[in-house]
Structure 1
């Protein structure tokens, strides 16, 4: 499934939740579905910002990915495990958006991703921006990371849905 179709599927699923279900937190330390969507949208825009920086760089970068970054891209996605970020990077996502707000934000993200779909393959693959855990990524890798990140959270989405349905 393409990145755009994946995001459209996630957006469509938003219509199935009530506001109460979107904001429901089953226990301390577990996100609501709305928080998961907020996280996905914020991070996807960060990835696309870095992709755009790659597109505008004027000099190539010889640096590569970390060992984990190499493995991530070789496997085409994250391992099927929960990943806990350090506390300073792990503040709880927003849990106050309405369903309509999340749909609008997903629409904006889908539109932005779509604008780059036909351009990303033509960006110099040696123009790179550093990711804190994966090393130096080029525009295509940042673009693909959006879909990898959404797919990674699909299991979390199913788990959170089990608490509300």
Structure 2
């Protein structure tokens, strides 16, 4: 499982953060570490749910990725740019999760990744679920998107750590 080390790294760093630093917002318009972790949990579980839903979808080889989705998978990850979500209630993660809640969320991601790895590889690639920005993705692509999304947030994690006075745990 490619994502295993990445997940373990996020989890190990989370365990070392002082509790009071998890909710510290480094600057206006920025997320705290806790919010970033909560975002990663919510999005990862959503992607894994979509991978699972692909098994129930009717095969349709004509469903395709958007141009952005094609570029993402050709590149193998998100571009090294900041992506700002619109300021809507659903786009701002909770800033009051405890370290234990966040650790539980990451353990759930790990468990679901293990369950989905084989399922994603065995699901008919013509069975897809729609992503709002990337178009129609099959189970394997939804599974791979979890890793891409986690890697994309490594730079943000380091930036927040520096701004709130934590040394990077890399």
- TM-score (normalizing by structure 1): 0.94
Q: Distance in 2 between matches of 1:28 and 1:106?
A: 27
Mapping for residues 38-117 of structure 1, pairs under 5 Å = 38-88=38-88, 91-117=91-117
The one-character-per-residue Cα deviations of 1:120-140 (angstroms, maximum 9, x if unpaired) are: 111000001111110100000
Shift of 1:61: 4.5
Structure 2: 5+ residue stretches without partners? none
Shift of 1:90: 5.9
Q: Distance in 1 between matches of 2:103 and 2:2?
A: 19
Q: Secondary structure at the match of 2:144?
A: helix
Q: Distance in 1 between matches of 2:15 and 2:156?
A: 18
Shift of 1:60: 2.7
Mapping for residues 2-41 of structure 1, pairs under 5 Å = 2-41=2-41
Aligned residue pairs, count: 165
Q: Distance in 2 between matches of 1:47 and 1:128?
A: 12
Does structure 1 residue 124 correspond to structure 2 residue 121?
A: no
Shift of 1:91: 2.9
Q: Secondary structure at the match of 1:23?
A: coil
Deviates more, 1:31-40 or 1:17-26: 17-26
Shift of 1:118: 2.2
- TM-score (normalizing by structure 2): 0.92
Question: Which stretches of structure 1, 4 residues or more, deviate above 6 A after TM superposition?
Answer: none
Q: Distance in 1 between matches of 2:8 and 2:53?
A: 25
Structure 1: 5+ residue stretches without partners? none
